[in-house]
Chains A and B, each alone.
Chain A
Amino acid sequence: GNSVTQMEGPVTLSEEAFLTINCTYTATGYPSLFWYVQYPGEGLQLLLKATKADDKGSNKGFEATYRKETTSFHLEKGSVQVSDSAVYFCALSDRGGYQKVTFGTGTKLQVIP
């Protein structure tokens, strides 16, 4: 079946540091890949997505590139802010019936001033 593995947290960074959160996946076929963000006390929000190999998703300074050869979709940001502190979830959708999504376990990011 499908699975998503992402790095354990928490990740603690100083403001303006470079961020990488690793994500790898296992799926049949050609899944779509997503990063979601969850701020404290809220539901998940879609951050970015990529639908085919070599696509780069980007939003709010975050980027991730769909790497089929390494089955990876790592999240990066060049300069994090305190307001980026949240839990980040990598996810995939295998385009099959019922539009189901498989989520990773989440990585908590804490950015300190």
Chain B
Amino acid sequence: DAGITQSPRHKVTETGTPVTLRCHQTENHRYMYWYRQDPGHGLRLIHYSYGVKDTDKGEVSDGYSVSRSKTEDFLLTLESATSSQTSVYFCAISEGADSSYEQYFGPGTRLTVT
């Protein structure tokens, strides 16, 4: 258990509203990631963080921003939600050694944009 929680677990919001999803970890991991999961696409990386205030874009970052002001929290914000952002969002951390890094996932947030 990598001690990862996500909140909220479910959310329904309207098009055009801002939404923030939170990922919290308790084990001081340096690397954190946000993915979205959609049928037929597997998991796609939205943004990642390699330290406090250090973040970068993944392959599907348009419409999303992130912040990491503390090691334990990684926030994903949809500035103005659209129906195409209806998805399941997963947070992950990375740990490992000898260049073999495994990712561990939170339970996910199911977001519906109406």
Contact = CB atoms under 8 A, between A and B. Distances in A.
Interface residues of B, number: 26
Interface string A46-89: 10010100000000000000000000000000000000000001
B43 interface: yes
Contact of B41 (A34, A43, A95, A105): A105
Interface in B74-96: 90, 92, 94, 96
26 contacts: A32-B99, A32-B100, A42-B108, A43-B105, A44-B43, A44-B90, A44-B103, A46-B103, A46-B104, A49-B100, A51-B98, A51-B100, A89-B42, A93-B100, A95-B101, A98-B31, A98-B48, A98-B50, A99-B101, A100-B33, A101-B101, A101-B103, A104-B42, A105-B40, A105-B41, A105-B42
Nearest to A50: B100
